[in-house]
Chains A and B, each alone.
Chain A
Amino acid sequence: DIQMTQSPSSLSASVGDRVTITCQASQDISSSLNWYQHKPGKVPRLLIRDASKLESGVPSRFVGSGSGTTFTFTITSLQPEDIATYYCQQYDNHPRFIFGPGTKVDLK
């Protein structure tokens, strides 16, 4: 089975900071990766699909990149409403899905 890792597991940043999260797959998954945002008490929200395609209605400060085994998720200018846990999700073996362990983003 393909394993997913995310780093860091948590981070603290200030409003306006650039925040970067890395997701690593244990084998080549091409661009078969989505990114979700999950705020406490809310439902998960799809932000980016196919590694880099911004979902409709999602602010452009959220950027995804990468292919193969290494993927990056960036918030170009952190806003207070971005406090959440972010998960990568691989679908190389779709329709089976594997989520990464998540990265919790806090305000410094």
Chain B
Amino acid sequence: DVHLVESGGGLVKPGGSLRLSCVASGFTFSSYSMNWVRQAPGKGLEWIAYISSSGRYIYYADSVEGRFTISRDHATNSLFLEMNSLRADDTALYYCARGRLVTLQDAWGQGTLVTVSS
């Protein structure tokens, strides 16, 4: 079974930083692209970052470009999201999601909650 387990969420002050992790199991991690998708309280889903299987290609939503960095480590089957200059509107449940065919996400973790508040 495919498993994705996120961690690293928490309460952080505006302007602060946080690093999210997602550990993958049940599939060949290095063969799949990965994504981060978030859901703010009471809001819909928002895709925020993509990394190709090799890590060579990376894309961001405009809302996080320049502040967030996605990366991956094949030795530990881990996906990361480094978040800097956090704002109140970054408060959300952050999901890691496996990509397939470059055009969709077919497996999701349970999410980790990030709260940005003073």
Name the interface size band of chain B.
Answer: 20 to 34
List A contacts of B106 (CB < 8 A).
46, 55
List A contacts of B109 (CB < 8 A).
43
A-B contact count (CB 8 A): 63
| B47 close to A44 (CB less than 8 A) | no
- Looking at the assembled complex, report how far the CB atom of B78 sits from the nearest CB atom of chain A, in whole angstroms: 19
List B contacts of A101 (CB < 8 A).
44
Question: Is A64's beta carbon under 8 Å from chain B?
Answer: no
- The size of the chain A interface, using a CB distance under 8 A, is 25
| B108 close to A95 (CB less than 8 A) | no
List A contacts of B37 (CB < 8 A).
44
- Looking at the assembled complex, report how far the CB atom of A94 sits from the nearest CB atom of chain B, in whole angstroms: 5
| Stretch in A16-24, A31-39, A65-73 touching the partner | A31-39
| A34 close to B104 (CB less than 8 A) | yes
Chain B residues within 8 Å of A, Cβ to Cβ? 33, 35, 37, 44-47, 50, 52, 57, 59, 61-62, 95, 97, 99, 101-106, 108-111
15 contacts between A and B (CB under 8 A): A43-B110, A43-B111, A44-B37, A44-B95, A44-B108, A45-B108, A46-B104, A46-B106, A49-B103, A50-B103, A91-B103, A96-B59, A98-B47, A101-B44, A102-B45
Chain A residues within 8 Å of B, Cβ to Cβ? 1, 32, 34, 36, 38, 43-46, 49-50, 55, 85, 87, 89, 91, 94-102
